Amino acid sequence: MATSQSPTEPTPIDHLSSLPDALLVTILSFLPTEIAARTSVLSRRFQHLWKASPAVDLAFHKFKFQSFEAVANGALLSRQPSNPLLCLHLNVTSLIYSTFISSLLTHSHSLGLRHLTLNGDILQADDEDIQSIVRTVFFISSLESLSISLDAFSIVLPSATSLTHLKSLFITPPVISAQVERLLLELCCLDHLRLSELIQSSAAMVNLSSSTVKRLELFAICPFGQETCSVGLFMPSLEFLFLSQRSSWPLPCIRADIPLLRKSVIKLPLVRHRHVTAVAQLLNSITHVEELSLDLNESEGYPFCNLLEPGKEAPVFPNLKHLDAHMCFHELNFEAAVSLLCRSPALQSLKLVHKDADEFTLWTREKRKMYDWRSKLPRNVNGNRQHAYFSNLHLKENNKGFMKLLNKSSTRKKMKAHN
């Protein structure tokens, strides 16, 4: 027998129903569209709310094309221009016809789409189908940000675009450098550029030029068997540079005109002796930075200095305030780092982390004693030489440990000269 509610107990309040439609639509926009669509069974009020979401997230799964098509029709193709679309995240595979994807993108254009993320595995798709989708994307004139992350061997950028409002561009598949050079000339509002892999054409020089880009992330250069290659960066507004070489191909020589650069992150996992000139040239191109992060891994059978060219002085960093260096601080690198620190008068904080040489580096034909690879950093408060941290170096009382670090290298050089 059911008991009646006590008169002292408060009557339950349906807070969800009391929310305005606009707020409910905003909440639903944070859910994947496939999940948001399930709220249509809650009540008549929720039956169509999910279709008004300004953000649509469509992910295709194997053997579920019919359900994917139904959700896509409800969220996109049946939407009217009076209900604009701000964000679209589209996950495609080779099992979806390119004509259907193109129709979704074309209709999204008519809805004023601003932010598009296109990703998926389409290695088995026909090249013409891929290029058809790419061409459609580059003519959505309302886009402000575009991210293309497809597991394709490469994509071909169209010879002309309508992306006059684009501010952010991320491209993961390899693209031909000449096409990127041409594209940058057309993107008059671009602020942030991320390129995963550039395929060089027959020319050994890649020129990336933009008067508007402030953030550049460049992950790899493919020289197609060339022994040397170079990259010219002509970006007068550039403030942040991320550079990483993810392969054993030659490290490109960077020739840069980037006077406003303030922060740079350099990650080079396979530095060889033949790359020393390129690394030194890169450092000389960014001497006006305020923050610098270096992550270098030597890949050779013997220790060598990977910061400076033999017989040449360290570059001057007049504005450098924060340095974070992760590398093998064997004797040659340690002395080079100290030379660099001596030429950084504005330094405020310093982080040096020793990275032991890997097994491949140690056991090659030109192997040396383990001692040659040991850290030459001074012992820290924990009694090891694996890392050295210094902060507030602009304050005299915090400068003692830093001065000992500088004097350690100069003392070693004097002892060598004496012997």
Q: In 3-state terms, what secondary structure has residue 44?
A: coil
How far from the centroid of its chain's Cα atoms is residue 29's Cα? 26
- For residues 244 and 268, is the Cβ–Cβ distance under 8 A? yes
Instruction: Determine the Cα–Cα distance for residues 311 and 409; give it in Å rounded to an integer.
Output: 17
Position 196 scores a pLDDT of 87
Position 292 scores a pLDDT of 97
Task: Write the pLDDT tens digit of every residue in 257-270.
Answer: 999 999 999 999 88
Q: In 3-state terms, what secondary structure has residue 335?
A: helix
Q: Which of 146-155, 192-201, 364-373 has the lowest mean pLDDT?
A: 364-373
Position 98 scores a pLDDT of 74
Instruction: Determine the Cα–Cα distance for residues 51 and 67; give it in Å rounded to an integer.
Output: 15
Position 202 scores a pLDDT of 63
Please report, rounded to a whole number, the percentage of residues in the chain having pLDDT higher than 70. Answer: 81
pLDDT of 359 above 80: no
Residues 6+ apart with CB under 8 A from 114: 86, 87, 142, 143, 144, 145
Name the residue type at position 44: R
Task: Write the pLDDT tens digit of every residue in 13-47.
Answer: 666 777 787 888 788 778 888 788 788 777 777 87
Higher pLDDT residue, 274 or 169?
169
Mean pLDDT of the chain: 82
Position 191 scores a pLDDT of 97
Sign of CA dihedral 108, 109, 115, 117: positive
pLDDT of 222 above 80: no
Q: What are the two backbone dihedrals, phi and then psi, of residue 61, each rounded to the nearest 5 degrees?
A: -120, 150
pLDDT of 204 above 70: no
Higher pLDDT residue, 313 or 415?
313
Task: Write the pLDDT tens digit of every residue in 100-123.
Answer: 888 889 999 999 999 999 987 764
Position 108 scores a pLDDT of 92
Q: Which of 144-158, 159-173, 326-340, 393-407 has the lowest mean pLDDT?
A: 393-407
**For the residues 379-404, what does the mean pLDDT come to?**
78
Higher pLDDT residue, 364 or 324?
324
Q: What share of the chain is helix, strand, coil (3-state, %, to 5)?
A: 30, 25, 45
Residues 6+ apart with CB under 8 A from 142: 109, 112, 113, 114, 165
Q: What's the pLDDT band for 63 if we cut at 50, 70, 90? A: very low
Q: Which residues pair with 231 in a beta bridge?
A: 206, 254
Q: Are strands 168-171 and 192-195 parallel, antiparallel or unpaired?
A: parallel
Instruction: Determine the Cα–Cα distance for residues 317 and 342; give it in Å rounded to an integer.
Output: 9
Position 419 scores a pLDDT of 44
Q: What is the pTM of this model?
A: 0.85
What are the helix (H) ranges across 97-176?
Answer: 98-110, 127-137
**For the residues 360-372, what does the mean pLDDT come to?**
60
- For residues 313 and 342, is the Cβ–Cβ distance under 8 A? no
Q: What's the pLDDT band for 201 if we cut at 50, 70, 90? A: low
| Most confidently modeled range among 92-96, 280-284, 394-398, 410-414 | 280-284
- For residues 308 and 319, is the Cβ–Cβ distance under 8 A? no
Task: Write the pLDDT tens digit of every residue in 323-332.
Answer: 999 999 999 9
**For the residues 361-382, what does the mean pLDDT come to?**
71
- For residues 251 and 230, is the Cβ–Cβ distance under 8 A? no
Task: Write the pLDDT tens digit of every residue in 285-307.
Answer: 999 999 999 999 888 778 889 88
Centre a 10 Å sphere on the Cβ of residue 279 and count the other Cβ atoms it contains: 22
Q: What are the two backbone dihedrals, phi and then psi, of residue 353, each rounded to the nearest 5 degrees?
A: -125, 125
Position 62 scores a pLDDT of 47
How many residues make up the chain in this entry? 419
Position 418 scores a pLDDT of 42
Instruction: Determine the Cα–Cα distance for residues 385 and 362; give it in Å rounded to an integer.
Output: 19
**For the residues 321-342, what does the mean pLDDT come to?**
92
- For residues 57 and 33, is the Cβ–Cβ distance under 8 A? yes
Position 113 scores a pLDDT of 94
Residues 6+ apart with CB under 8 A from 357: 298, 328, 373
Name the residue type at position 70: A
Q: Are strands 192-195 and 175-176 parallel, antiparallel or unpaired?
A: unpaired
pLDDT of 130 above 70: yes
Name the residue type at position 414: K
Instruction: Name the burial class of residue 291, with classes exposed (0-12), middle (13-18) and buried (19+) by CB atoms within 10 angstroms of its CB.
Output: middle
